[in-house]
């Protein structure tokens, strides 16, 4: 669309060196092609972001959304004083960190498996990408049913093998109530997050894995290196920072997302599985205190900023630029 | 130190089977649930993986006939297609411009455009809600069409930027020397070479817009404009009553066909990211 505006579209000048039209001046064409995206992002990301800061310093509510009344840091102070804040901050960090660790391990494993050719690879790829193909909200509802307090099939399996129920190691209750307990709830959210982001991180890291020159592996084989030595000494160093960057970026999306918690534990019991994004939603939209919701969401920003800068520095170092 | 081939093969397929099972277990449970009768489903002593009573389709026909699921499906599909179109229209030229035409400043701004991707919807949904309400787009699919490119454009620009960079400059320079305009080179040389990257962008833009929950839940409260992500949970979870069979069917009907499409495109998706690699492998 933007390219078409750049005067003359498909025209090829017959005397290239003498007649230089607008379509030939790289700088001008470049600006015209870039402008729509930049304007869009400024209007709907940059301005709302500044608006979020303004909101957090005002006393706006859903009923009275004006931001002209400046209240300073009052929203931040009152939010920090609430009991839920400590839980939300703690859980956001724990869930993100735990997801990061598990996701890294499983991504490496999955990439190693998919890097070779085998019969049925197509089918395996369809099965492995399934979690990513489901809209997150619906997948979360699926997990809600999978972890149901009464009818969870996992509980049924545990009962069938004699691990759950009266007189068993996990008993005496007949169910584990995954989403009704603090640490089981947090664990469940971590597992769901890992489950849904694993396909994406696998695709990104697999791209890096297939770019490693085959000679490296052949050389290692000639040297008599075993599988794990090859993995540790060839594959992982060659993937290097790309692996960390890919996974870090996948995980940062989780840090800022509320969907899984909103549809499974809902932050409960009490505030024990609350996270910052969902709490911002509860306060800002459900509770109508837009300004406080904006203040909570802004607590995400320093972490996101620090992690992005770190990841990008690694990315550029790995590019050797 | 070297393990026997048989052991390796067994280890390989065991690992693969475990990971595949982890990936599809919830979907498996959804599909089984969708066909179960109430009497079978709500008996904790029944083996949940078997049909203790004959399966039936009534919950699926309930989903299509007596809920707004078909409307949600259509809305999600419609929004997805338009968002993909907008994303490509904005991101493809922007990425090409940053990769080829803006010189060194292009490389710097590419960092900025990627940082934008990391500003989460959680930070933006409250001000965007105000903007959407102000311009009168609240409760329409257009509010979501307007806002979803904030997620897809930065991501796709970043992805395509590295893709365009991986195309050897000489190819385009040859065409320029032949007297083609820059715009002509973009359409006839660069675009065809970027097809794998663009395919990846199409899939990602569609998947990201389909998956959004927060904007869909906040901006739209009328049933007729809801998407699958926000509509299904609100329509089929009424207070304490969960229509589990219909919920599971609604999820599987969206997820499984898409998984097949994305799965068949798997190699293309990987190729779309290929780009970053030559440079990082160089170190």
pTM value > 0.90: no
**Å between B190 CA and nearest CA of chain A:** 12
**DSSP H helical ranges for chain A:** 2-5, 26-41, 47-56, 74-81, 83-114, 121-133, 136-146, 153-160, 182-210, 214-222, 227-230, 236-255, 259-263, 276-281, 290-298, 300-319
DSSP state of B232: H
State the count of interchain CB pairs (< 8 A) between A and B: 377
pLDDT of residue A23: 54
pLDDT, tens digit only, all 321 positions of chain A = 333 334 344 444 444 444 455 555 777 888 888 889 889 988 888 899 998 888 888 888 877 777 777 887 888 888 888 888 999 999 999 999 999 899 999 998 999 899 888 888 889 999 999 999 999 999 999 999 888 878 888 888 888 787 777 777 777 777 778 877 888 889 999 999 999 999 999 988 888 888 787 778 888 878 877 777 788 777 887 777 677 777 777 888 888 888 889 888 888 788 888 899 999 988 888 888 888 888 998 888 888 888 877 777 776 666 554
Write the ipTM.
0.88
A122·B263 Cβ contact <8 A = yes
CB of A272 closer than 8 Å to CB of A261: no
- Which chain B positions have a beta carbon within 8 Å of A262's beta carbon? 213, 217
Domain residue limits, chain A: 1-56, 76-319
**Å between B113 CA and nearest CA of chain A:** 9
In this structure, what are the phi and psi dihedrals at residue A224, rounded to the nearest 5 degrees?
Answer: 80, 25
Distances from the Cα of A115 to the Cαs of A110, A203, A241, B278, in angstroms? 8, 11, 19, 17
B16·A124 Cβ contact <8 A = yes
pLDDT of residue A19: 46
Q: And the tokens for A290?
A: 């837009």
In the numeric block, the tokens 């608006």 are attached to: A51
Which segments in chain B show pLDDT lower than 70? Answer: 1-3, 106-111, 114, 274-283
At residue B164, the 3 state secondary structure works out as helix
Out of A10, A51, A113, closest to residue B16 by CB? A113
Determine the Cα–Cα distance for residues A283 and A260; give it in Å rounded to an integer.
18
Query: What domains can you pick out in chain B, each with its CATH number?
Result: 68-281 (1.10.3720.10)
Out of B1, B123, B178, closest to residue A226 by CB? B1
pLDDT of residue A24: 56
B255·A138 Cβ contact <8 A = yes
Q: Which of A4, A23, A30, A153 to mutate to test the interface with B (most CBs of B within 10 A)?
A: A30
The domain made up of A76-319 is a member of CATH 1.10.3720.10: yes
**Å between A274 CA and nearest CA of chain B:** 14
**DSSP H helical ranges for A42-115:** 47-56, 74-81, 83-114
């Amino acid at each position: 669309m933007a390219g078409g505006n750049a005067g003359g579209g498909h025209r090829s000048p017959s005397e290239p060196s003498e007649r230089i039209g607008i379509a030939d001046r790289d700088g001008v064409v470049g600006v015209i092609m870039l402008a729509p995206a930049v304007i869009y992002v400024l209007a709907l990301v940059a301005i709302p972001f500044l608006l979020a800061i303004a909101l957090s310093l005002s006393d706006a509510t859903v009923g009275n959304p004006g931001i002209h009344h400046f209240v300073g840091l009052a929203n931040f102070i009152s939010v920090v004083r609430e009991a839920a804040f400590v839980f939300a901050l703690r859980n956001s960090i724990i869930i993100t960190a735990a997801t990061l660790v598990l996701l890294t391990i499983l991504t490496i494993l999955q990439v190693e498996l998919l890097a070779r050719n085998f019969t049925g690879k197509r089918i395996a790829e369809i099965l492995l990408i399934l979690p990513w193909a489901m809209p997150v909200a619906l997948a979360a509802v699926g997990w809600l049913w999978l972890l149901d307090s009464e009818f969870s099939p996992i509980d049924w399996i545990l009962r069938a093998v004699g691990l759950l129920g009266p007189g068993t190691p996990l008993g005496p209750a007949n169910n584990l109530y995954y989403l009704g307990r603090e640490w089981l709830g947090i664990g469940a959210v971590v597992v769901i997050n890992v489950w849904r982001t694993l396909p994406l991180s696998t695709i990104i890291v697999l791209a890096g894995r297939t770019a490693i020159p085959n000679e490296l592996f052949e050389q290692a084989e000639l040297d008599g290196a075993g599988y794990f030595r090859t993995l540790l000494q060839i594959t992982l160093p060659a993937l290097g920072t790309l692996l960390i960057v890919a996974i870090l970026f996948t995980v940062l999306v989780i840090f800022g997302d509320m969907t899984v918690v909103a549809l499974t534990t809902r932050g409960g019991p009490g505030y024990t599985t609350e996270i910052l994004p969902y709490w911002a939603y509860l306060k800002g939209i459900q509770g109508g205190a837009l300004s406080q919701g904006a203040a909570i969401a802004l607590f995400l920003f320093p972490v996101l900023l620090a992690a992005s800068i770190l990841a990008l520095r690694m990315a550029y170092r790995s590019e050797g630029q | 130190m070297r393990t026997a081939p048989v052991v390796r093969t067994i280890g390989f397929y065991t690992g693969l089977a475990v990971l595949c099972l982890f990936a599809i277990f919830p979907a498996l449970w959804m599909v089984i649930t969708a066909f179960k009768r109430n009497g079978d489903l709500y008996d904790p002593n029944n083996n949940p993986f078997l049909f203790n009573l004959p399966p039936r389709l009534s919950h699926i026909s309930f989903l299509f006939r007596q809920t707004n699921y078909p409307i949600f499906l259509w809305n999600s599909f419609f929004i997805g297609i338009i968002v993909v179109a907008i994303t490509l229209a904005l991101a493809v030229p922007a990425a090409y411009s940053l990769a080829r035409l803006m010189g060194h400043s292009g490389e710097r701004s590419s960092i900025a455009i990627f940082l934008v991707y990391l500003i989460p919807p959680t930070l933006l949904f409250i001000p965007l809600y105000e903007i959407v309400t102000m311009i009168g787009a609240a409760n329409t699919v257009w509010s979501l069409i307007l806002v979803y490119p904030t997620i897809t454009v930065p991501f796709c620009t970043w992805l395509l930027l590295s893709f365009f960079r991986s195309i050897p400059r000489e190819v385009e320079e040859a065409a320029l020397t032949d007297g083609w305009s820059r715009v002509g080179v973009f359409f006839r040389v660069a675009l065809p070479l970027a097809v794998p990257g663009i395919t990846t962008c199409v899939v990602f833009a569609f998947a990201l817009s389909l998956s959004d929950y927060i904007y869909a839940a906040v901006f739209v409260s009328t049933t007729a404009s809801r998407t699958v992500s926000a509509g299904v949970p609100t329509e089929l979870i009424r207070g304490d009553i969960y229509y589990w069979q219909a919920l599971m069917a609604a999820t599987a009907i969206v997820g499984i066909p898409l998984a097949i499409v994305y799965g068949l495109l798997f190699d293309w998706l990987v190729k779309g990211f290929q780009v970053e690699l030559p440079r990082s492998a160089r170190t």
